[in-house]
Structure 1
């Protein structure tokens, strides 16, 4: 038995005093005047302010938009009935938004009523759920398009063959019409082939991703508008890894060309590479990935097409075919990677995640 005088194990008070500083949940305490009396380190990170600067401030001054009305907080003080909200969007003072689960409860400190607010950030879980849903929808749309494309392509082959046979029975003047049929059948066949997307499996070879990015930059430089600038921000520590150079080059080239067209002759495109650790791709955890980001300062992608951006035939431009991003998605999917986009006016970022290491069992 240990002597009580030599037993230095932490007591209840020790845990009560120290655990809040190590919690990932942001904790804020308000007094009866709704002024901030305490924030833990997680709340300081969430609000981008230190406790000293937040002390005695009202909640609405610490956030660009307060998630709870003053009336609701006063009702909580009166009734003591706690409440919770999910999917609460907070706009911080740096104008960035985050999604949290919020719990508000009434507590008593120093014989005075206080409010305890708990914010748990759920952006990552929500993003994973949304990406899984969007990936499922993309696969369904792709399968539907492929089914329709095959149904269209088969009659087109018969139509073209019949026109060729008919041509032999006609005079040179009359062949103008059958030639038009053959020409339009070929055009539609080409469109259908593009709808079907790449069907050859990638030829995986160890290579340096920056070699591919340099080729893309060189290709687009030949027709780059005068006032569009391409900046490179590479991570030289990225190791070589296995991928199909031609397919990845095509995927990135489609995205960069889209960015050039969106900028309308004036703007900046940044190509950035970084290592990404412990990323979830289609439900599988990957220990190490290469993240390639193509960022432009254009007008952003319209909200109405952001959820269907990678579907075939969806485009934000009047003259767009809506095939470039769909093809890029297919090419990245063939590499067991992920392509996603975050967009707001002045900042559109397409990110490609390509696995470097093997997946981790969850």
Structure 2
């Protein structure tokens, strides 16, 4: 049976893969296949091709179950759905990838459903959806991060309000007290109070800064941002540090606040450079700025046709495990003397561009990933 004669059909009886259904499936980020119990794959969408790194023709001509590690359970499930023992079923599986791809199988969550329409007796096809477990985990993490940004915003506003009013009173009282005393030793104490009040005021102002200043939106290029940050950090660390470029120059300009994104990337790259002190001394410190285009990217709960991916990777010691899950929280720092505001501000600025920021870290490799929708 060739694909045009297959029984799996959409509304009106037309073959499923020759209709608008196939076009819709090709827009999905999840992998879709129409499979018969004997392993004959009748249709695979673009996402399935991309994950395997093969053309659709090559995917269709192999026994579909051969793509899976220990596929017996999946084979039995497809057969049971085809026999109408169940309407739908879910299970986890491991998807093999061809030589030259990733060595490790891809963990996927499999959803098997019946296909409506006329079928060839004994060869009823089923619709199989494969969802990368890591992708689902990432989406859940992004949603939590967006909720965290909103919670941080409310916390900062309330905290600033509670601090600023008494802080002004403390500073004013210290100034009045200084005017009334003649002892130089006591004046030193009032100066300490005034200095610390000013320091706290500056800290509160920094926390509130991203929420006070309106975005200055204009056409901008992400590589101009990267080059600006690269020159600033290399001027600060002229020896022992190499900042490598890995740019996709086809990425289009987009609307954004150039200064906010410079500050975002600068905060991350400078943190990376400061963590690389030992490698800088040894002369083998490396930071990589990598840009790519992601297609059909899901950010939060929204799907975007195109998105910018900016990866900032370093070969430093990694983020301390004790704070790895909290690095975007205000005032959390893994470095002595750090304010703990750099990554909080970076997350706030990226969120204001409807994007997300994520971090993966282990000894010898830390990767910050920024994703921002493109027009």
Query: What is the TM-score with the length of structure 2 in the denominator?
Result: 0.67
| SS of 1:237 mapped into structure 2 | coil
Shift, 1:305, TM fit: 5.0
- 1:34 — aligned with what? none
Q: Going by fraction, where is helix more abundant, 1 or 2?
A: 2
RMSD: 4.5
Sort the Cα spacing of 1:269 and 1:189 in 2 relative to 1 into closer, same or farther, 3 A: same
Matched, 1:214 2:227: yes
Shift, 1:230, TM fit: 0.9
| SS of 1:201 mapped into structure 2 | coil
1:31-42 aligned at under 5 Å gives the runs none
Shift, 1:285, TM fit: 5.0
Shift, 1:158, TM fit: 0.8
| SS of 1:176 mapped into structure 2 | helix
Shift, 1:174, TM fit: 1.9
- 1:349 — aligned with what? 368
Report the count of equivalent residues: 330
1:76-155 aligned at under 5 Å gives the runs 84-85=89-90, 88=92, 90=94, 94=102, 95=104, 97-103=106-112, 118=128, 120-121=130-131, 127-155=138-166
- 2:117 — aligned with what? none
Whether the 8 Å CA contact 2:32–2:127 is kept in 1: the answer is: no
Alpha-carbon distance between aligned partners in 2 of 1:245 and 1:96, rounded to the nearest angstrom:
40
Shift, 1:221, TM fit: 0.2
- 1:328 — aligned with what? 346
Contiguous gaps of at least 5 residues in structure 1: 1-8, 32-36, 106-111, 358-362
Whether the 8 Å CA contact 2:218–2:257 is kept in 1: the answer is: yes
Alpha-carbon distance between aligned partners in 1 of 2:89 and 2:172, rounded to the nearest angstrom:
67
- 2:118 — aligned with what? none
Shift, 1:26, TM fit: 4.7
Whether the 8 Å CA contact 1:255–1:325 is kept in 2: the answer is: yes
Sort the Cα spacing of 1:75 and 1:293 in 2 relative to 1 into closer, same or farther, 3 A: closer
Alpha-carbon distance between aligned partners in 2 of 1:176 and 1:121, rounded to the nearest angstrom:
65
What does the per-residue CA deviation read over 1:233-264, in whole Å, with 9 as the maximum and x for residues that have no partner?
Answer: 23333444433332221111001112223444
Q: Which deviates further from its counterpart, 136-145 or 270-279? A: 270-279
- 1:172 — aligned with what? 184
Matched, 1:311 2:321: no
What does the per-residue CA deviation read over 1:20-60, in whole Å, with 9 as the maximum and x for residues that have no partner?
Answer: 897743578898xxxxx66675677656687799869988x
Shift, 1:100, TM fit: 2.0
Contiguous gaps of at least 5 residues in structure 2: 26-30, 115-121
Sort the Cα spacing of 1:84 and 1:277 in 2 relative to 1 into closer, same or farther, 3 A: closer
Whether the 8 Å CA contact 1:298–1:348 is kept in 2: the answer is: no
| SS of 1:131 mapped into structure 2 | helix
- 1:190 — aligned with what? 202
Shift, 1:126, TM fit: 5.6
Sort the Cα spacing of 1:316 and 1:159 in 2 relative to 1 into closer, same or farther, 3 A: same
| SS of 1:222 mapped into structure 2 | helix
Query: What is the TM-score with the length of structure 1 in the denominator?
Result: 0.69
Matched, 1:200 2:209: no
